[in-house]
Amino acid sequence: MINVAKGNDLKYTSLYRRWRPKRFNEVVGQREVRAILKNAVKRSGLSHAYMFAGPRGTGKTSIARILAKAVNCESPEEGEPCNECESCRIVSSENALDIVEIDGASNRGIDKIRELREEVNFMPAKLNYKVYIIDEVHMLTNQAFNALLKTLEEPPERVIFLFATTEPQRIPATIISRCQVFEFKEIPVPLIKERLLEIAEAEEVGITEEAAEEIARKARGAVRDALVIFEQMISYRPSGDIRKADLQKVLGITGEEVVKEYLHSLFSAERGTVLEILTDVKEGGKDLELFLEDCVSLLREQLIDDSVDEFSATDTQLLLLSRKLIDLQKDLNRSPNGHIAAEIASLEMMEELGGKEKGQEETPQQKGEKRAGKEEVLTSNTAETEPSGPSDLFGSETSPEKSPAADAAGEREDNAQPVEEAESRSMKKEEIRPLGPAGEEEVRERWGEMIEAIKEDRISVAAFLQEGVLRPKGEELQVLFSQDFSFHKESLENRENWTYLQEKIRDYFGPNYSVELAYGEKDDLPVQEDKLKQKAKLVQQKFGGTIIEEGRDPADSD
């Protein structure tokens, strides 16, 4: 059982520090790296400089410390440190004068490297080798790297440099070329799970295999992260087995049934359910990125396993949705409000998947063909040809318009809508007159009318446009976006949205007008009050629901 400090009797040590590997064979994963370094120690074929590059928590610093111990061990065993001789004990105590660890992030200047260059000329005090371990070496300044270069070119005897980095691309090529470089990989989930169960048994802590696997998956390839999470869960449940449900409560992990319900709702265009699930994820304090990652993993399972048919969707649909979810994950990091970005992106996904409006019957095209079915076009929205007219919010395309005379006579065919509604829309379209050369005020008024019409047709496009600032330049309509709203600009530049927007510009302004989307300077972008509330209200008007406070507009924070 884990001991807790009482008074001054015990000094508590974190779980990941207590279980830091002491031998190469105790390191989880990195088999090739371990084998090469053990053989180098065994045959005394050591290099003067090593570069360990890879994600955090994958064993870079641990292997560096083990190597520092092994090269100084008085009786190494097949390249492994014995951990019993005086040299091993000195290194393990972390008080060895000849083992110097430097944090590159806090000692990144040239002065520290100049000090190091002076020290390396002295022989080791007690050990066989002086070892310098520089963690996060990519944080050193260019001047510091230049000062270090000379030492690496002509290293003194009995000095070894061990560099660890998570960003090798930031290290000068002149430094890398003088090191043996080892690429560390993320640790597979099964290996992390196995290590967790081993530690749990030794610590006499109960944990189910499901919970151990969930922790391993949450750690994303880092053993250290897994042990930190494990220790957190031990504090949450000091007695009894740690279960998967406990992780969902503490770590913001969403259950698989919620993930499946969200994906089913996307495929069937159940807008209310999709928005409700996203709201529950947010209000429940769940990790939205991890939720999306779970969605992608589930879609991947169906793609690679023909026996799995959870969503009755074609490979094309599965691939399309997977790509959109991955893109949304990336966009969350730069979006000022992740929840609203996820809502808008979800509406777009349903539109591109060719969903249906509530109350309408699905057509065979909208349902999509099964994987073993015929090779047909999936939906009207995934067709390669450009749409002949505006489509509705979730992709059910309206019929092409006939001549004005036919429209006026009410002869337009539209099986998906009542005749009265079709005639009403036709008459409304006739009322729109192309705008010739006009003043800025008239252009802005027509722009507002166009956006109001787009709200009824494609709410996502309207929401994206409202984040931009209109700058009329004659017959060129320039829409400027802040860098914070790159997601909105890029979404409008999507082929389908761009075609639709150009058509609306022609309808409301005439064939001579064009639209340009660009990024604007801060001075060009006046503060728009209550922008988040406007977006929330836009979604509420279309789908109903309650507006939830989402935070401040980015323009308000300086």
Q: Residue 163 above 90 pLDDT?
A: yes
Q: At 523, is the pLDDT very low, low, confident or very high (cuts 50, 70, 90)?
A: low
Residue ending a domain, choose from 328, 359, 390: 359
Query: Picking from 170-174, 381-385, 498-502, 524-528, which range would have the lowest pLDDT averaged per residue?
Result: 381-385
User: Which stretches does DSSP call E strand in 368-475?
Assistant: 469-473
Q: What's 137's domain CATH number?
A: 3.40.50.300
| Same domain membership, residue 280 and residue 349 | yes
Q: Residue 91 above 50 pLDDT?
A: yes
Which pLDDT belongs to residue 63?
Answer: 94
375 or 107, higher pLDDT? 107
15 or 397, higher pLDDT? 15
State the DSSP string of 46-79: --SEEEEE-STTSSHHHHHHHHHHHHH-SS-BTT
Two tokens, residue 492: 């409008």
Question: How far, in Å, are 45, 140, 209 from residue 131 at the CA level?
Answer: 16, 18, 40
Q: At 340, is the pLDDT very low, low, confident or very high (cuts 50, 70, 90)?
A: confident
Which pLDDT belongs to residue 555?
Answer: 44
| Same domain membership, residue 475 and residue 512 | yes
* Strand order across the beta sheet in which 469-473 lies: 469-473, 476-481, 514-519
**Averaged pLDDT score across all residues of the chain:** 77
Q: What does the alpha-carbon distance between residue 365 and residue 353 come to, in Å, rounded to a whole number? A: 11
Q: Can you say whether the dihedral through the CA atoms of 421, 460, 443, 533 is positive or negative?
A: positive
Residue 138 DSSP label: G
438 or 506, higher pLDDT? 506
Three-state secondary structure call for residue 308: coil
User: Which domain does 339 fall in, by range?
Assistant: 256-359
Q: What's 274's domain CATH number?
A: 1.20.272.10
Is residue 3 assigned to a domain? Answer: no
Is residue 389 assigned to a domain? Answer: no
Radius of gyration over every alpha carbon of the chain, rounded to an integer in angstroms:
31
| Same domain membership, residue 212 and residue 178 | no
Which pLDDT belongs to residue 552?
Answer: 47
Q: What is the pTM of this model?
A: 0.57
State the DSSP string of 169-189: GGS-HHHHTTSEEEE--PPPH
Q: What does the alpha-carbon distance between residue 354 and residue 317 come to, in Å, rounded to a whole number? A: 10
Report the share of the chain in percent with pLDDT over 90: 21
Query: Picking from 98-102, 200-204, 305-309, 387-391, which range would have the lowest pLDDT averaged per residue?
Result: 387-391
Which pLDDT belongs to residue 15?
Answer: 87
Is residue 526 assigned to a domain? Answer: yes
Give the containing element (helix H, strand E) for 301.
helix 288-304
Is residue 285 assigned to a domain? Answer: yes
The predicted model gives 503-514 an average pLDDT of: 86
Q: What does the alpha-carbon distance between residue 456 and residue 393 come to, in Å, rounded to a whole number? A: 8
Contacts by 210-217, CB closer than 8 A, 24 or more apart? 210/243, 210/244, 211/241, 211/242, 211/243, 211/244, 211/246, 211/247, 213/189, 214/244, 214/247, 214/253, 215/247, 216/189, 216/190, 216/192, 217/189
Is residue 369 assigned to a domain? Answer: no
276 or 410, higher pLDDT? 276
| Same domain membership, residue 29 and residue 121 | yes
| Same domain membership, residue 414 and residue 312 | no
| Same domain membership, residue 87 and residue 151 | yes
Q: What does the alpha-carbon distance between residue 226 and residue 58 come to, in Å, rounded to a whole number? A: 11
Which pLDDT belongs to residue 387?
Answer: 38
Residues forming beta bridges with residue 470, ordered by sequence position: 479
Residue 77: CB partners within 8 Å, gap ≥ 6? none
| Same domain membership, residue 505 and residue 476 | yes
Is residue 365 assigned to a domain? Answer: no
Is residue 461 assigned to a domain? Answer: yes
Q: At 541, is the pLDDT very low, low, confident or very high (cuts 50, 70, 90)?
A: low
Q: Which of the listed ranges 81-85, 309-313, 442-446 does the model predict with the highest average pLDDT?
A: 81-85
Number of domains in the chain: 5
Rounded to whole angstroms, the maximal C-alpha distance in the chain is: 101
Question: How far, in Å, are 234, 339, 346 from residue 277 at the CA level?
Answer: 30, 11, 11
Phi-psi region of 220 (alpha: psi -120 to 50; beta: other; left: phi over 0): left
Specify whether the CB–CB gap between 57 and 17 falls below 8 A.
Answer: no
Which pLDDT belongs to residue 198?
Answer: 93
Angle among Cα 323, 327, 332 to the nearest 5 degrees reads 150
In Å, how far from its chain's centre is CA 527? 29
Q: Which of the listed ranges 64-78, 343-357, 422-436, 468-482 does the model predict with the highest average pLDDT?
A: 64-78
Which pLDDT belongs to residue 474?
Answer: 80
Q: Which of 544, 493, 485 is nearest to 516 (CA)?
A: 493
| Same domain membership, residue 264 and residue 159 | no
Which pLDDT belongs to residue 135?
Answer: 92
112 or 62, higher pLDDT? 62
Specify whether the CB–CB gap between 41 and 68 falls below 8 A.
Answer: no
Is residue 392 assigned to a domain? Answer: no
Q: Residue 97 above 80 pLDDT?
A: yes
Q: What does the alpha-carbon distance between residue 170 and residue 58 come to, in Å, rounded to a whole number? A: 19
| Same domain membership, residue 61 and residue 44 | yes
Q: What does the alpha-carbon distance between residue 468 and residue 28 come to, in Å, rounded to a whole number? A: 50
Residue ending a domain, choose from 221, 251, 281: 251
Q: At 95, is the pLDDT very low, low, confident or very high (cuts 50, 70, 90)?
A: confident
Residue ending a domain, choose from 224, 251, 278: 251
Q: What's 466's domain CATH number?
A: 3.30.300.180
Query: Picking from 39-43, 328-332, 404-408, which range would have the lowest pLDDT averaged per residue?
Result: 404-408
| Same domain membership, residue 245 and residue 199 | yes
| Same domain membership, residue 143 and residue 66 | yes
Q: Which of the listed ranges 20-34, 397-411, 439-453 does the model predict with the highest average pLDDT?
A: 20-34
Specify whether the CB–CB gap between 259 and 298 falls below 8 A.
Answer: yes
| Same domain membership, residue 76 and residue 126 | yes
DSSP-derived pairing of the beta strands 99-103 and 159-165: unpaired
